[in-house]
């Protein structure tokens, strides 16, 4: 670092489908929804993050809200670049004599193709990154929850994000076997929208479905501490008259059942590929859950009962990947073998 440290700014970025988190100097400086609002006439950026999320589903023809990432990968290159640039601006809002050059570590899904990896690298570079390093999400999550990734022991991590669920077995500083499936938080939200439409004849938007998931989302139909029913208001599909419907956690457990079963079979699939020595380590230590999806009520219990290996939810599952990315950034030389 030394004398010219003020010329370089180091950022750890967890570029997520649902939320983008940026850590600078060990502090979370940005934690915003991954969404931008753009003026359709001029192409100018109107809002990012929470302000853009409040506009989502409520815009007129001159404003478009875009979620630049779909299923964990960049779907809209231009919007992604504007979003990263805008979020970096939030940090550097004070006027400076010169712009510091940016050194970034960005995390990417473990199932990313070369093209998808290239898109993240290009977007980060266009947004002002001079040195851009990429790290795989399960690796970052493992470092973030405090696992010793370089030890000759097997650790299994499941990161349920917005767009993808990453399942990986990590040992000796590398990913031994992994699977990335596109069933995650967004899928759950979509399931809830579909369920409300079919079951209750009520049309709800993405934001309301997200609120239902947070308020009464559950993976089990019987919980020890059940949440109160959530009241949903919206138009009846047949008559367009307003209706109010209480939604219970049992209903949500029923409607998310299929998606969670897909995650279960993916976990079993990875366990099948795991070398026996590492498998023994995993059974002894349990499996770690990270990402926003880990907050789903009763999920760890359901998985423990189904797979017969203890599941532990990480301490701060939402920020595990970002924290791991920040640790990797601090020790770039030590973790250089994990970077791309």
Report pLDDT digits (tens) over 14-71.
Answer: 999 999 999 998 999 999 999 999 999 998 999 999 999 999 988 899 999 999 999 8
> What percent helix, strand, coil does the chain show, rounded to 5?
40, 30, 30
Q: CATH assignment of 146-183+259-311?
A: 3.30.420.40
Mean pLDDT (the chain) is 91
Phi first, then psi: what are they for 149, rounded to 5°? Answer: -75, -15
Domain 2-140+321-338 has CATH 3.30.420.40: yes
Residues 6+ positions from 147 with CB-CB distance below 8 Å: 155, 157, 170, 288
pLDDT(3) > 60: no
In CATH terms, are 2-140+321-338 and 146-183+259-311 the same topology? yes
> To 5 degrees, how large is the angle CA 245–CA 232–CA 229?
75
Residue of 56, 14, 21 lying closest to 35 (CA atoms)? 56
Write the CB contacts of 321 (distance below 8 Å, at least 6 apart in sequence).
14, 16, 21, 107, 137, 140, 141, 144, 159, 161, 290, 291
Q: Closest Cα to residue 20, out of 296, 325, 289? A: 325
pLDDT tens per residue, range 190-237: 999 999 999 999 999 999 999 999 999 999 999 999 999 999 999 999
For the question of whether the overall pTM of this predicted structure is more than 0.95, the answer is no
Percentage of the chain exceeding pLDDT 90: 77
Architecture of domain 185-255: Alpha-Beta Complex (3.90)
- Cα dist from 34 to 54, 281, 316, whole Å: 12, 36, 19
Task: Give strand pairing partners of 236.
Answer: 202
pLDDT digits (tens, 9 = 90+) for 229-286: 999 999 999 999 999 999 999 999 999 999 999 999 999 999 999 999 999 999 999 9
The whole-angstrom separation of Cα 156 and Cα 141 is 11
Q: What is the pLDDT of residues 277-311, one digit of tens each?
A: 999 999 999 999 999 999 999 999 999 999 999 99
For the chain, the domains span: 2-140+321-338, 146-183+259-311, 185-255
User: Which regions of the chain does DSSP assign to beta strands (E)?
Assistant: 8-15, 19-24, 27-33, 36-39, 45-48, 63-66, 69-70, 73-74, 101-108, 129-136, 155-160, 165-171, 174-181, 230-235, 242-247, 287-290, 311-313
Do the strands 73-74 and 19-24 form a parallel or antiparallel pair, or are they unpaired? unpaired
């Amino acid at each position: 670092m030394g004398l010219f440290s003020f010329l370089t700014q180091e950022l750890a970025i967890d570029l997520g489908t649902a939320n983008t988190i940026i850590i600078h100097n060990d502090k979370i400086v940005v934690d915003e929804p991954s969404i931008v609002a753009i003026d359709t006439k001029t192409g100018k950026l109107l809002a990012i993050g929470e302000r853009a999320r409040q506009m989502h589903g409520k815009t007129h023809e001159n404003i478009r809200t875009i979620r630049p990432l779909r299923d964990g990968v960049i779907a809209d290159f231009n919007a992604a670049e504007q979003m990263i640039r805008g979020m970096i601006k939030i940090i550097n809002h004070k006027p400076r004599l010169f712009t510091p050059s940016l050194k970034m570590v960005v995390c990417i899904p473990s199932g990313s193709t070369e093209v998808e990896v290239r898109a993240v690298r290009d977007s980060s570079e266009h947004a002002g990154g001079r040195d851009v390093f990429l790290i795989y999400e399960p690796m970052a999550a493992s470092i973030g929850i405090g696992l010793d990734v370089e030890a000759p022991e097997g650790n299994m991590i499941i990161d349920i994000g917005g767009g993808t669920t990453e399942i990986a077995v990590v040992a000796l500083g590398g990913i031994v076997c992994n699977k990335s499936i596109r069933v995650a938080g967004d899928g759950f939200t979509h399931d809830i929208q579909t369920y409300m439409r079919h079951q209750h004849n009520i049309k709800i938007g993405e934001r309301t479905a997200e609120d239902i998931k947070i308020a009464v989302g559950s993976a089990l139909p019987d919980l020890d501490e059940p949440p109160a029913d959530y009241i949903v208001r919206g138009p009846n599909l047949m008559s367009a008259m307003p209706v109010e419907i209480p939604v219970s956690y049992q209903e949500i457990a029923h409607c998310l059942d299929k998606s969670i079963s897909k995650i279960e079979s993916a976990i079993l699939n990875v366990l099948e590929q795991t070398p026996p020595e590492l498998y023994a380590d995993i059974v002894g230590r349990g499996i770690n859950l990270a990402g926003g999806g880990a907050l789903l009520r009763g999920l760890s219990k359901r998985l423990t009962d189904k797979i017969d290996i203890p599941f532990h939810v990480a301490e701060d599952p939402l920020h595990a990947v970002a924290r791991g990315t920040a640790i990797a950034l601090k020790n770039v030389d030590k973790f250089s073998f994990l970077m791309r």
